[in-house]
């Protein structure tokens, strides 16, 4: 299997990482390696390309960012791991739908390893446990290459989700790994998820720790 670099970046500002993803994608060529960036963000609400501001019910002191990913509104914050997939889809010969399914099944596989049943939904991409959302995703493809990715709730304060209609669905409940009795921290959950996703895409994952601690409160 070819090798993919999986960068654990620690807690980083959302907009800074978003800009870095765009820069990486714009500078790519046919030889550029695919990478995963595993990140935790300070509190932020993000709207997708077609996201409607009315789904932000009460942002309060949490910033709202209009992003270029797919999907509606979601929340990122401490205790949630985000895995950004910087992938050349043309080289892998897969489409966006296939990448979405690989992302969902990586979470489903991780939960199954801990005895928790989960499902994806074609009408509302993401992963659900007993109807509650545990992972949300949104992608952008530019020049045949993807960025953005998937957010998995590990052990977070879920109260900010009550300030929005998560993914555009009023009253949608969320759940975390901790709620399911799975005792993983953000680092361990990100590594486990990244390894499963890399395997599904035909890679072996080489972990690189690039957490410099600069964005930690």
Among all residues, which ones are annotated catalytic? 167
Detail the residues annotated as belonging to a binding site for substrate. 69-76, 136-138, 149-151
Cα distances (Å, whole numbers) of residue 127 to 45, 77, 111, 149, 151: 19, 18, 10, 13, 10
Detail the residues annotated as belonging to a binding site. 69-76, 136-138, 149-151
């Amino acid at each position: 299997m070819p090798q993919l670099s999986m960068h654990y970046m620690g807690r980083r500002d959302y907009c800074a990482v978003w800009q870095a993803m765009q820069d990486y994608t714009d500078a790519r060529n046919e030889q550029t390696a695919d990478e995963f960036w595993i990140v935790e963000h300070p509190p932020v609400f993000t709207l997708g390309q077609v996201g409607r501001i009315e789904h932000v019910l009460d942002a309060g002191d949490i910033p709202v960012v209009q992003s270029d990913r797919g999907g509606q509104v979601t929340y990122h914050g401490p205790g949630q791991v985000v895995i950004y997939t910087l992938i050349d889809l043309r080289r892998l010969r897969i489409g966006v739908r296939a990448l979405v399914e690989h992302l969902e099944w990586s979470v489903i596989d991780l939960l199954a390893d801990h005895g928790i049943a989960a499902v994806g939904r074609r009408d509302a991409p993401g992963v659900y446990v007993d109807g509650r959302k545990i992972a949300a995703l949104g992608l952008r493809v530019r020049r045949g290459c993807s960025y953005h990715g998937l957010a998995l709730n590990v052990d977070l304060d879920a109260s900010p989700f009550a300030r929005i209609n998560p993914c555009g669905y009023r009253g949608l409940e969320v759940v975390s790994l901790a709620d399911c009795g799975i005792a993983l921290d953000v680092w361990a959950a990100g590594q486990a998820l990244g390894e499963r996703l890399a395997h599904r895409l035909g890679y072996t994952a080489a972990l690189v720790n690039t957490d410099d601690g600069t964005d930690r409160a």
